[in-house]
Amino acid sequence: MMFQAIGAFLIVSTTTLIGYALGAREKYRLKELEEIERGILLMKNQISYLGTPLAQLLDQISWKTEGAIGLAFQEIAARMEERQGNTAEEIWESVWMEMGKKTYLTAVDLDELIAFGRTLGFLEKEQQEGSMDLFLYNLREREERIKKRLEKNGRLYCSMGVLGGLLIVITLL
């Protein structure tokens, strides 16, 4: 009886944690997308008003953005400073491919981020601003979708975890 109770407790707590983790993952993903948005917004302002070169401005942005996103911006800035790639696109893509594994971003998020990188480096100021506006628009739409999903499903993930655990326990008993 004692072992059964411990087993049931372990199953329910594990499934609850899985449910919670699924919800939290989306929250962290949203947080990272918001950090990217903040970074790109800062980037746009620096380009529009100061015309700061990318390596310099990405280094500045890296200090103003948090977590893995800040680290990615810092790495891109360092590689650009060292001219470690033939084009900005090449550096941008290689860093996000490496750093993407350490983030909560999905493959679709990374694809969009990499696609945005293809516009960096060779455009005039107006065109560069245009490409940033488009990227920001898409990013904000994505964030809105995640927020709505979180509002709707946030508690659902936890409840599903608890209920799923209970279902397994009942079935096993």
Partner 1 sequence: MEKKVGATLQKLEEIWKLLPVDVGKRLKEENFLKEEQIQEIRLRALKPLFVKTNKNKYFIADGYENWIVTNRQIKEAVERLGGYSLYAFEEELKQGYLTVSGGHRVGFCGRAVLEHGKVKTLRQVSSLNIRIAGEIIGCGEQWLPYLFENNSLCHTLIVSPPGCGKTTLLRDIIRCLSYGLHCKESYNVGVVDERGEIAAMKDGVPQMDVGPCTDVQENCPKAEGMRFLLRSMTPDVIAVDELGKEADFYGVEELLHAGVTLISTVHGNDMNGLLKNIKMKKMIGEMEKGRILFLSKKCGTGTVEEIWDAKGIKQYERGVKP
Site string for partner 1, 71-110 (x = CB under 8 A): ---------x-xx--xxx--x-------------------
- Asked whether position 49 contacts partner 1 by CB under 8 A, the answer is no
Q: For residue 28, with 0-12 CB atoms within 10 Å meaning exposed, 13-18 middle and 19 or more buried, which class applies?
A: middle
Identify which of residues 52 and 60 has a Cβ nearer to partner 1 in the complex: 52
Residue 156 Cβ, how far from partner 1 at the closest point, in Å?
Answer: 45
Identify which of residues 43 and 169 has a Cβ nearer to partner 1 in the complex: 43
- Asked whether position 53 contacts partner 1 by CB under 8 A, the answer is yes
Q: Which residues 6+ apart lie within 8 Å of 30 measured at CB?
A: 143, 146, 147, 150
Helix axes 54-64, 67-81, angle to 10 degrees: 160
- Asked whether position 60 contacts partner 1 by CB under 8 A, the answer is no
Q: Which residues 6+ apart lie within 8 Å of 163 measured at CB?
A: none
Q: For residue 88, with 0-12 CB atoms within 10 Å meaning exposed, 13-18 middle and 19 or more buried, which class applies?
A: buried
Instruction: Tell me which DSSP letter residue 1 carries.
Output: -
**Residues of this chain, 122-161, that bind partner 1 according to CB under 8 A:** 122-125, 128
Identify which of residues 90 and 143 has a Cβ nearer to partner 1 in the complex: 90
- Contacts with partner 1 by CB under 8 A lie at 47, 51-55, 80, 82-83, 86-88, 91, 120-125, 128
